[in-house]
Amino acid sequence: MDSIIGFITDLTGEKRGPSKHYRRYNVLTADNEIIQGWVFSSVEIDQTTSGNILLTAANNNTSVHLQGKLSTESNGAKTIKVSINSKSDKCINCTESTFLQPINVLTITSIKDAVLSTTPTRLEAVVLDDNETITFTQNDKQRRYKIFIIGDNSGTAPLIVYNELIEYLQIGESFILTQIKWNKIHNQLILTTSTSTIMEKATNVVIPDLNDMDESMSFKQIDIEEITCCIEEIVHSQKDIMCTSYNQKSTFFAKTDTLQKFYQQQNPQLAMTSENISEYYLLNGPWKLTLSHFRHELISIDK
């Protein structure tokens, strides 16, 4: 059992997982180190002694002593996971320490600096626009993501938000977003949330610089990657494609009529039958497929 002492910041609301209730937070230690934290409980956290101590400490800026499992990631980031096993379990306790809360080292970063940062950042931004929610499967589990456009006084950027955090953001409202990371998708730098991301409504009204809004908005058209592959089988000319890329066999899903439209453009003199379409794609590869980065859905096709 590991233990740390520190101040609770960025405490989220209580959520119900598949088997346990949980909350996320950050622990700010006397050494100005931020440790990501999770607390899990089989009963409602707010009904436990430790859960009440956690909430009181966060509201009153008092330090606590946490006992749990401390782990360190390859990038040096630390996480402590605390498990509450009963209502009276005291895995979180008040401390009698007299040290003062240090200045939080995770200060507000501009959007333009965040997309270049090597570490997770904290943003204060307004939500300007959003796209449809997309459902996909990862490790046999159904997940969701949604692309928002956010802005601050440095400019705008796409932000990919996953799962339950999607419902938290609202267009026109300002938020403080903690533990935001960047990613490069189709040669464009964008921001993403992670399992450690915390969101809270901002007290300030953020006035964004919209000079690069068109560039940020264009991301929904380039949410793609390109691969070169040989098509081995077309299960259905409007939907399923079996192809081999880099010695790996994968099935992709085409947008309606994509295969047919490209075939017709290349072969205006031939009948558009299932047999002709399958033969054409089998014999005339390799093909460059433009795919959705998240869903492996075919957007366009070219030689």
Q: What is the pLDDT of residue 133?
A: 85
- Owning domain of residue 212: 111-221
Same domain for 200 and 274, yes or no, is: no
**pLDDT of 230-243, one tens digit each?**
887 776 655 677 77
- Is the domain of 241 the same as that of 174? no
Instruction: Give the global pTM.
Output: 0.56
Residue 116 in any domain: the answer is yes
Q: For the chain, what is the domain count?
A: 3
Whether residues 210 and 271 fall in one domain? no
pLDDT at 115: 87
Q: What distance in Å separates the CA atoms of residue 63 and residue 8, rounded to the nearest whole number? A: 7
Q: Does 164 lie in the same domain as 84?
A: no
- What is the pLDDT at residue 102? 58
pLDDT < 50: residue spans in the chain: none
pLDDT value of position 223: 66
**239 in the same domain as 292:** yes
* Residue with token string 């494609």: 241
Domain contains 102: no
Same structural domain for residues 118 and 211? yes
CATH number at 140 reads 2.40.50.140
- Listed in sequence order, the residues at least 6 apart from 98 whose beta carbon sits closer than 8 Å to its beta carbon are none
Domain membership of residue 159 (yes or no) is yes
Q: What is the pLDDT of residue 139?
A: 66
Q: Do 242 and 203 fall within a single domain?
A: no
pLDDT confidence of residue 101: 62
62 three-class SS: coil
pLDDT at 227: 80
What's the alpha-carbon Rg for the chain, to the nearest Å? Answer: 24
Which of 161, 189, 221 marks a domain boundary?
221
Per-residue model confidence (pLDDT) at position 220: 65
Give rounded-to-5 percent helix, strand, coil for the chain. Answer: 15, 45, 35
